[in-house]
Amino acid sequence: MRPKIAVSIPASTVGEASRMVHKARRLGADFAEIRLDYVKGDEPIEKLARTEAIPLIATFRSSKNHGARNSEEEERRQALIAAAEAGFSYVDVELEMRGLGSIINRLRAAGAKTIASYHDFAGTPSDIRLRKVLHLCRKSGATLSKLVTTARKLEDNLRLLTLTREAGRRGRLVCFAMGRLGVQSRVFSPLYGAAFTFASLDEKQSVAPGQISILGMRHIYAEMGYP
């Protein structure tokens, strides 16, 4: 089994993003996550979807979820719809977005697979809370559920990996913890059933606490016997 990795792309222009996507593929990425909150508003993102490098994930983080700039919800909604219509393979919608189910349906009708995502930058909630969040993500009708928390102790990794092992059998899931203490769950989550994990393009391009480079991630997997 080859663990799958998505590389986050924090580019401000389409040209820069395209170059980064092709580099990500050369370094062993399976997906590229385009962070639309980094992209300038007047950039033609539809050009990105024409690349044949690797499948693209469109993501537009709100300021609450540590997006690169302040934005209104309607701006994020329209940008995600535009990405789906342009041909992005996946579109990530934050769980807090109003009318989540309706926008998931709109994105699906445009031909995109969908991700309902939840982020906690303060810590890792209780197991009961995590399962409630997972239920809400699945209830939205999204193709994938994404639960990303912050590890405050090593045991948080074990709880998330246990959830991934259990929930991964019943549906597609991305689940790990941010922060230095969360690196274990970043690395091991695909081995426990997660659809993929996340890495940065290099050490200088990290967009989340604890994110390590694609080369570093592939080296770890190679040492573990996963080429």
* 135 has catalytic annotation: no
Burial 173-184 (b: 16+ CB within 10 A, else e): bbbbbbbebbbb
* 22 has catalytic annotation: no
Catalytic residue among 23, 146, 204, 219: 146
Closest CA to 100 of 85, 80, 82: 80
Catalytic residue among 119, 132, 139, 153: 119
**Residues 37, 81, 75, CA angle at the centre, nearest 5°?**
45
**Residues 6, 9, 15, CA angle at the centre, nearest 5°?**
130
Active site residues: 119, 146
